[in-house]
Structures are given as structure tokens and as C-alpha cells.
Amino acid sequence: MANVRSIRTHIKSVESTRKITRSMKMVSAAKLKRTQQAMNALRPYADAAEQMLVRLAAEPAAKENPFLAPREKKHVLYVLLVGNRGLCGVYNTALLKFMEGLAEREERDFSVLVVGRWGRDLIAAMKLPLTETIDKLSDAPSAEESAALTEKLKALYLSGEADEIVFVYERYYSALRQEPERKRLLPIDIPETAEEKEYILEPDGKALLDKLVGLYLDAAVYSLLLEARTGEHTARMTAMTAATDNTEQLLETLRLELNHARQSAITKEITEIVGGANALKDAKEGKRA
Amino acid sequence: MGGRIHLKVITPEGTALEENADYIRIPTPEGSVGILADHAPMLCAVGEGKLKCRSEEGERLIYVSGGVASVENNEVTVLTEEAQIGE
């Protein structure tokens, strides 16, 4: 059985681990609240922008808008949204595996743009054709940060460096379920509508589309970023809750072990004293006899 | 406020205003557009300026930074990056 002192040291180290996992859980909970609120606030805006875009899709001007018009997809740009940190279960690793699968199956020319700080070495080891790593995106991204990314992607698309832009991210289904998914940003996919309705367009279709497409893309990128971050914080919170629970269990076992060790040490000591006393007594009696 | 037109002003930070009105004036890059009940379906660009919404109870001004608006079935939806509600 381990000695008392080594068990005490072990308990101490487990206790400090618990402190860390517990505070990480708390921090994630706070960040989760922020991203989730922003995500919910953005939804009506994003939905309305999409609805308006659907109404405009039938306009002849839609074929001239560079972001809507179909074009030959020679070069694909994958935007990989990893987390900023690890310690969040399989969130990042599952995403990387998914990306690896995509890369293997991709027959066209492609490149990958990474957003997030996690796994720089791991990603580099995968030998993906990386163009850039954006590691400045915060844990609760603001609309401005997102707009900067949108502008960058738009420029890449317009200049012809990318003919298709696909986001690879963890889709947020629920607090317990996030799954890797791919979603095309550009060219914009507009769901077909059956209804044909005449709209008055002010000032004209082209100007309206320019404006609307801008709004739509901003909202689309921002909601993807928020969704990915919400998933990351949720995953980390779950992982850290489990880790905290594990330390509790471990502490319980260790405390039990400590008591056992202490008790047996005492018992041993008593036996030794009694044994010693008896030996002395025996020796005395032997002398007499 | 009462009124037959249902106005919604939506920004990325959430719905800034939701109200019923009789008359809405939207600032566009080429001048204002006034909307009364039963307006024909319309999509219009919104410029920077003051959006006015009037009903029997009074008038309200909302500053909008620009975006797009849709009018359909007495539903007016204004998408703008920023909105500030005045007195």
C-alpha cells in the first residue's frame, strides 16, 4: 500500500486539477452565453435577408451579380473553422478527420484557409494546401471581426483565386450534439421558389441585389462563426464538467486510501510497541527464571 | 401604436423595433418613399437617414444606417446594420 505522504501529494495535485477544470468550465459557460445570445439575435436578420434574396433570385439582374451567377468551379477554397483551444472533447479532432476525408475525395484544385488557433502543428502535419491561418478571431467574435473575414473571402472570390468557397465547421444541433459539416458560401445557393410575384424594385434590381447580397453574406458568415464558437464552448463545458466529476471520484478513492494507509500505519506502530514491550517483558522474565 | 401596417426593423443585434403604423416613410438613396396600407409588393434599398412611422397615437423617428426593405401584405421589414430609436 502506498505510503501516507505520497497519497497526500496525489490528493493535492488532483485538487488543483479540479480547481482548473472547474474554472475552465465557468469561463466556457460565460462565453457560451455571449455567443448563443448573439446567435439568437442574428437569426431573424439572416432569415429575412435570405427570404428577400429568394424573391429577387428570379430577376434578370441576378445572373449578372458576381456572387450569384454560376461559374466554372476550378479552384475550391475550404474555410476550416477550428476552435481556439483544445480540451473540448472530440470537437476539433472530429473536424480535422472530416476535413481529411474531404481533402482525399476532392478531385479539383483546392486550398484551405484555417480560422482558429488550435492544432497548428497537427494541421501542418496533415500536409493540406494551406493558404493562410487566421488566428486572431476571438472566442466571442464581434460583427466587425466577422465582416473583415467576409470582405477577405469576397475579394478572393472576385479576383478569381477561388471559384467556390466552402465552410467546414462543427454544426450545432444541440448542447449534446455537434457534428462536422460543409456548407457552401459562394456562389450563393438560392432555394427555388414556385411563387412568381411582381415586385416594385427601388431603385433597380442590380443596385438592390448588390446591397442585399452584401447583407446576406455578412449575416451568413457571422452566423457560421457564432455557431462554430457556440459549439466549441458547449463542448468544452461538457468536457470540463466530466473532468471535474472525475476528479471528485478520484479524490474520494484517494481519501479512502489515505485513511486505510494511515490506519494501517497506526496499527503497525501499535503492534510494534506492544511487540517491543512484550519482548522486554519476556527478556526480564527469562533473566529471572 | 395601432395601425394596419406591421413594421419590423431588424439589425444583426436583434429586432430593434416592431410596431403597427398607418404610414411609414423610408429613406432611400434617391429620396424618401412613403408607404400606406395595401401598398403593392416592393423591395427597396434603404439609405442612411431617418425612418418615420406614424399612427393615430403619434409619430416615431428611427435612425437607420442603410440596408434593404421589403413591403408585402402590409408587412414592412427593414433590414439595417444599425438602428437607433429616437423620441
For the segment A163-192, the average pLDDT, to the nearest whole number, is: 89
The rounded percent of chain A whose pLDDT value lies above 70 is 97
Domain B5-70, CATH:
2.60.15.10
Cell digits of residue A106? 476532392
**What is the ipTM for the molecules in this complex?**
0.89
For the segment B21-26, the average pLDDT, to the nearest whole number, is: 93
- The residue ranking higher by pLDDT, B87 or A75, is A75
Q: What are residue A157's phi and psi, to 5 degrees?
A: -70, -45
Would you kindly state where each structural domain of chain B is located, as residue ranges? Answer: 5-70
For the segment A73-84, the average pLDDT, to the nearest whole number, is: 91
Identify the bridge partners of residue B85 per DSSP, sorted by sequence position.
B62
Cα-based angle A113, A114, A119 (whole degrees, multiple of 5): 145
- Report pLDDT digits (tens) over B53-81: 988 888 889 999 999 999 999 999 999 99
For the segment A58-72, the average pLDDT, to the nearest whole number, is: 83
Q: What are residue B50's phi and psi, to 5 degrees?
A: -105, 130
- The residue ranking higher by pLDDT, A190 or A270, is A270
For the segment A219-223, the average pLDDT, to the nearest whole number, is: 94
Alpha-carbon gap, residue A70 to A58, rounded angstroms: 14
Q: Measured between alpha carbons, how far is residue A160 from residues A107, A164, A220 in Å?
A: 19, 9, 21
Would you kindly state where each structural domain of chain A is located, as residue ranges? Answer: 4-20+246-288, 22-190+200-241
Query: What's the alpha-carbon Rg for chain A, to the nearest Å?
Result: 31
What is residue A243's predicted lDDT score, i.e. its pLDDT? Answer: 95
* 3 state SS of A179: strand
Task: Please indicate if any CB of chain B lies within 8 Å of the CB of A169.
Answer: no
Test mutation, B17, B44, B65, chain A, max A CBs within 10 A: B44
Task: Please indicate if any CB of chain A lies within 8 Å of the CB of B16.
Answer: no
What is residue A191's predicted lDDT score, i.e. its pLDDT? Answer: 72
Q: Cβ atoms within 10 A of the Cβ of A139, count?
A: 19
Is residue A288 pLDDT above 90, yes or no? no
- The residue ranking higher by pLDDT, B86 or A245, is A245
pTM, 2 dp: 0.86
How far B16 CA lies from chain A's nearest CA (Å)? 10
CB contact under 8 A, B70 and A211: no
Task: Please indicate if any CB of chain A lies within 8 Å of the CB of B65.
Answer: no
How far B58 CA lies from chain A's nearest CA (Å)? 27
What is residue A269's predicted lDDT score, i.e. its pLDDT? Answer: 93
How far A205 CA lies from chain B's nearest CA (Å)? 9
In this structure, which topology does domain A22-190+200-241 adopt according to CATH?
Pyruvate Kinase; Chain: A, domain 1 (3.40.1380)
| Nearest residue in B to A55, CA atom | B43
pLDDT band at A195 (very low <50, low <70, confident <90, very high): low
